[in-house]
């Protein structure tokens, strides 16, 4: 984990909706393993990728009941994100759907943490989040999206903050982001949302005023891309 003391705030805006684009020229993650798995009466291919150090799971194939299959897949995904000593844990689980096609979805679930510790002459406030994200294509036809890309973003509001974040994340001021490489011919893509933390020490005149998580998925179908998104703030 990287740690640093910085000053500044940066904001990245993610677009929602429908856009005509192509991901064919973008490099795909490295395939580690591919295996056939039975989901009820259906057989699908489950692939594991290495996306520059991030483990990504993908499922491709034709599934009779996608809702039940994805529920099963979500329940059997391990969250291997780094953990920390959580003071007050709040569980979250939320799903976003594209405004132009509800079959394109993204879901995030996990734990967020916020705390205030008082000492004799100063206090430390903190906020953190970790969990898991998926991107899915729920339509029966076509059975698989051309490709799915995941996007993760955490923004801390305040100044003179200290941070802890994984090396796979990009840092810009108070904002941390990660973008997966496209996974092709898939109905389901899953990846960890690793531990990210911000702290403020009152002795250093630092202040932490809020945390905002904005995660999305690019779901490529034919010549179109659908962008479901979820937003959490505390």
Task: Kindly list the distances between the CA atom of residue 214 and the CA atoms of 16, 38, 232, in Å, as whole numbers in the listed order.
Answer: 11, 34, 7
Taking residues 86-97, report their average pLDDT. 85
Lowest mean pLDDT: which of 11-15, 48-52, 157-161, 179-183? Answer: 11-15
Number of neighbouring beta carbons within 10 Å of residue 121: 7
CA–CA distance, 172 with 162 (Å, rounded to integer): 13
For a pLDDT cut of 90, what percent of the chain falls above it?
A: 69
Identify the band that residue 24 occupies on the pLDDT scale cut at 50, 70 and 90: very low
Taking residues 13-20, report their average pLDDT. 37
- Cα-to-chain-centroid distance, residue 118: 32
Identify the band that residue 82 occupies on the pLDDT scale cut at 50, 70 and 90: very low
> 50 near 130, Cβ under 8 Å?
no
pLDDT at 86 over 60: no
pTM, two decimals, is: 0.84
Number of neighbouring beta carbons within 10 Å of residue 153: 22
The H or E element containing residue 71 is: helix 66-75
Q: Using the structure block, give the residue that is written with the tokens 């079959």.
A: 103
Predicted pLDDT of residue 87: 61
Predicted pLDDT of residue 192: 95
- Cα-to-chain-centroid distance, residue 9: 21
pLDDT at 20 over 80: no
Taking residues 105-128, report their average pLDDT. 93
CA nearest 97: which of 176, 177, 17? 17
Query: pLDDT tens digit string along 216-227?
Result: 999 999 999 999
Predicted pLDDT of residue 210: 97
Identify the band that residue 41 occupies on the pLDDT scale cut at 50, 70 and 90: confident
Predicted pLDDT of residue 68: 83
Tokens of 100: 């132009």
Give 25-65 as a DSSP string: TSPPPEEEEEEEEEETTEEEEEEEEEETTEEEEEEES--S-
């Amino acid at each position: 984990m990287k740690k640093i003391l910085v000053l500044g705030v940066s904001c990245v805006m993610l677009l929602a909706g429908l856009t005509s684009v192509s991901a064919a020229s973008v490099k795909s993650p490295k395939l580690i393993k591919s295996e056939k798995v039975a989901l009820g009466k259906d057989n699908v291919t489950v692939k594991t990728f290495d996306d520059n150090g991030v483990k990504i799971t993908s499922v491709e194939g034709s599934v009779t009941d996608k809702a039940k299959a994805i529920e099963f897949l979500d329940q059997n995904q391990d969250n291997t994100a780094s953990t920390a000593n959580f003071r007050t844990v709040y569980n979250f689980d939320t799903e976003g759907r594209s405004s132009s096609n509800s079959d394109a979805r993204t879901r995030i679930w996990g734990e967020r943490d916020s705390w205030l510790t008082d000492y004799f002459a100063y206090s430390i406030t903190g906020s953190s989040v970790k969990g898991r994200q998926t991107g899915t294509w729920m339509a029966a036809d076509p059975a698989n999206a051309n490709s799915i890309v995941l996007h993760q973003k955490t923004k801390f509001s305040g100044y003179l903050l200290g941070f802890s974040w994984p090396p796979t994340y990009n840092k810009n001021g108070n904002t941390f982001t990660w973008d997966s490489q496209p996974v092709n011919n898939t109905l389901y893509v899953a990846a960890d949302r690793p531990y990210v933390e911000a702290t403020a020490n009152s002795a250093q005149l630092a202040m932490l005023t809020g945390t905002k998580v904005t995660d999305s998925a690019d779901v490529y179908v034919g010549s179109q891309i659908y962008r479901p998104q979820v937003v959490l703030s505390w």
